[in-house]
Homo-oligomer: A and B are copies of this chain.
């Protein structure tokens, strides 16, 4: 039974206890739990979908917008994807136990750093109930207990999914408390959750700016921020303009609602007259609204509307982007330095020294040369799975995989060594 009415510190103590067992669990038993969860989620589809219906009814009754309803909704296909995701995580390499580095000291002391789970990973998230399965699977594979706090809107769905995961853990001989879902979905409970010092080893907030702001303001536990992406594509004067159009179109329109989509286009003054009409028409054909500065507007004409300075700092997450003309590489780097959210920044150029300076001097989790910002994604970069994309510099930067759900332990072996 997953219904957890207990107080948070009690739940946390249960998560800690489970984390100690999970840290020592074999890869085989963790993978068995993941595969059993992948089977069970399909067997229990009727229960999960009926719980989801209850959430949807409640959401519709309270006038939730259609886009949020879509994120909340589960169906057979989405449950199949969830199941496939659980099997996929079972197929990933277990990061636990890797010897990261080591040395034999001159005094004969043997020193190595070994990868170990973080312990209890707290995830606080909004809406989409598939996060319950995704986050729990990645925590489990990396030997952590998943301490989950979803949104009130998805609570019935989350309870149903967490219940499946807990049953799968038990069937694989692992502690079912390896997945714990907080029942109390009040704002007070969220604030208490992020202050469980000594219980949560790492907190991952997955949600919008107000959730991130709450975490920054209230949290006393260590956390990793998965922040906004105000990603730029800078078309340098030495760019292949055909390539530049293809990259801009892909970065802006292939999936505008995600954080690695382009939100701002910078074009060198020397090529603005040729390139802007070209890219402007291509973007207009895909229905992209352009907010341009004065110099860009002069070339784009009625394809663009005037941009305010604030528009250059916005993450639109929609078919809309800001456009500015810049006076060469230095000005582009300066502009990005002012407006970047530190996520992903791209240059299009055939000039080696411009590419080198851009990658060295732009301060972001990812810098790209002649490639769409859309590649900044755990799957695309070979991580296998993605926990999120960190826009902070501590612990993890950019796409986070299983490795980022671990820490290291120093193991030091002597033979009676004293100082």
- A: which residues have CB within 8 A of B? 20, 23-24, 103, 105, 109, 111, 116, 118-119, 197, 201-202, 216-217, 220, 222, 224, 240, 243, 246-247, 249-251, 254, 337, 355, 359-361, 363-372, 374-376, 380-382, 392-395, 397-399, 407-419
Closest to A104 in B: B382
Cβ-defined contact, B375 with A109, below 8 A? yes
A251–B414 Cα distance when bound, in Å, is 14
A413–B363 Cα distance when bound, in Å, is 16
Most buried by B among A119, A220, A397, A412: A412
Closest to A398 in B: B410
A105–B368 Cα distance when bound, in Å, is 14
- What residues on B are CB-neighbors of A360 within 8 Å? 24
Number of copies: 2
Cβ-defined contact, B111 with A372, below 8 A? no
Closest to A366 in B: B410
A337–B415 Cα distance when bound, in Å, is 25
Known pairs A374-B418, A407-B393; A412 contacts B367 (CB<8 A): yes
Cβ-defined contact, A381 with B419, below 8 A? no
Task: Give 17 new A-B contacts, CB below 8 A, not counting A367-B412, A398-B408.
Answer: A24-B360, A202-B393, A202-B394, A216-B220, A217-B220, A222-B394, A355-B413, A365-B410, A366-B410, A366-B412, A369-B414, A371-B414, A371-B415, A371-B416, A372-B414, A380-B419, A394-B407
- What residues on B are CB-neighbors of A20 within 8 Å? 337, 361, 363
For the complex of A and B, 9 pairs with smallest distance between CB atoms = A371-B414, A250-B418, A366-B410, A393-B407, A395-B395, A371-B417, A243-B416, A394-B395, A222-B394
